[in-house]
Amino acid sequence: MTTLTETPVRPTTTDPVLAVRDVRIRDQVSGREIVKGVSFSLTPGKVVGIVGESGSGKTLTCRAVLGILPEHIEVAGGAIHVAGEDVAALSPAGLTALRGSTISAVFQDPASYLNPSIKVGPQIAEVVRVKKGLGRRAAKRRAIELIAAVHLRDPELVYGQYAHELSGGMLQRVLIATAIAADPRVLIADEATTALDVTVQAEILDLLADLRDTAGLALVVVSHDLAVVAQLCDEVLVMREGEVVEQGPTERVLYHPQHDYTRLLIDEHEQYGLDRFLAREGS
């Protein structure tokens, strides 16, 4: 007889590109455990959502996955595997190589991630040059292709524009173009559409869904907006005070929440039109 392990026997068609197992995050200064055990795994083309109140540990969880925790904050337990690689075992150089190429991210406030005094196109081309090792000419060509891929009109024109010449939605597309420049397998979007107006937000969500469908990109979507999660995610984690209070398939968590806190979140969101997305149950 073989011994039973604790590993859940779940048939998957592909190995996970991201596996987060019981990750705990601690503040070394106060000794406080900020994130108290987060687990999920993501196969290509799948989307996991993280929701929950401000300060619940969503961003730190993402930053742990990316290996960019703030000073004094550390992963104090659990394991993170990106494309089969144990992130904790990687050297700083190995981590840097992984970031951008295998796993990438977009955050809120795209303008702050771009250099205001350099045209946006060359900034994308630089990422392509460094991460893909292309020459200048090829990197420029690729940057223009990427600008087109994120559905910006007139890519050649946009290539030569400065950040201040672009709208918030256009900037977020430029950031997404930069994030996917090295063909990552996982993209983390942490409140990536929060600052945008509703129409632009919907366009960016469509773009992410498109990348998921065409490139098999796996997504981690952090949002305070349950409608975003309902639209995009296969699975959702509900966090409160560093704990995952509920986790499961999006449909189940949003239609049949088991935890009071999830119910509270859903009630709060109903006024923002969550029912619009939930209505697809009947479709």
Residues that bind Mg ion (CB under 5 A): 58-59
Near ligand ATP by CB under 6 A, which window of 51-59, 77-85, 133-141, 158-166? 51-59
Shortest Cβ 31–ligand ATP spacing (Å): 12
The side-by-side arrangement of strands in the sheet containing 47-52 is 103-107, 186-190, 218-222, 47-52, 235-240, 243-249
Whose Cβ is closer to ligand ATP: residue 70's or residue 133's?
70
> Would you count residue 56 as binding ligand ATP (CB under 6 A)?
yes
Shortest Cβ 66–ligand ATP spacing (Å): 12
Q: Return the one option of ligand ATP, Mg ion, none that residue 158 interacts with (CB less than 5 to 8 A, by type).
A: none
Taken in order 184, 189, 195, 196, is the CA torsion positive or negative? Answer: positive
H or E segment and range at residue 6: none
Kindly report the CA angle at 65 between 177 and 46, in degrees rounded to 5? 65
- How many Å apart are CA 231 and CA 71, to the nearest integer? 35
Nearest-CB residue to Mg ion? 59
Kindly report the CA angle at 157 between 153 and 163, in degrees rounded to 5? 95
Whose Cβ is closer to ligand ATP: residue 54's or residue 199's?
54
Whose Cβ is closer to Mg ion: residue 34's or residue 120's?
34
> Would you count residue 73 as binding ligand ATP (CB under 6 A)?
yes
Give me the 209-248 binding string for ligand ATP, x by CB under 6 A, dash otherwise. Answer: ---------------x------------------------
Whose Cβ is closer to ligand ATP: residue 29's or residue 93's?
29
Total residues at interface with ligand ATP (CB under 6 A):
12
- At 280 the three-state DSSP class reads helix
Kindly report the CA angle at 106 between 100 and 108, in degrees rounded to 5? 155
Whose Cβ is closer to Mg ion: residue 66's or residue 144's?
66
DSSP state of 47: E
Bridge partners, 48 (sequence order): 220, 235
117 near 103, Cβ under 8 Å? no
The interaxial angle of helices 120-132 and 136-149, nearest 10 deg, is: 120
> Would you count residue 57 as binding ligand ATP (CB under 6 A)?
yes
133 near 194, Cβ under 8 Å? no
* Residue bearing tokens 């060509």: 141
Whose Cβ is closer to ligand ATP: residue 127's or residue 187's?
187
Near ligand ATP by CB under 6 A, which window of 55-63, 118-126, 172-180, 229-237? 55-63
Q: Return the one option of ligand ATP, Mg ion, none that residue 241 interacts with (CB less than 5 to 8 A, by type).
A: none
Near ligand ATP by CB under 6 A, which window of 41-49, 58-66, 122-130, 176-184? 58-66
Hey, what are 98's tokens? 């992984």
Binding site for ligand ATP (CB under 6 A): 27, 34, 54-60, 70, 73, 224
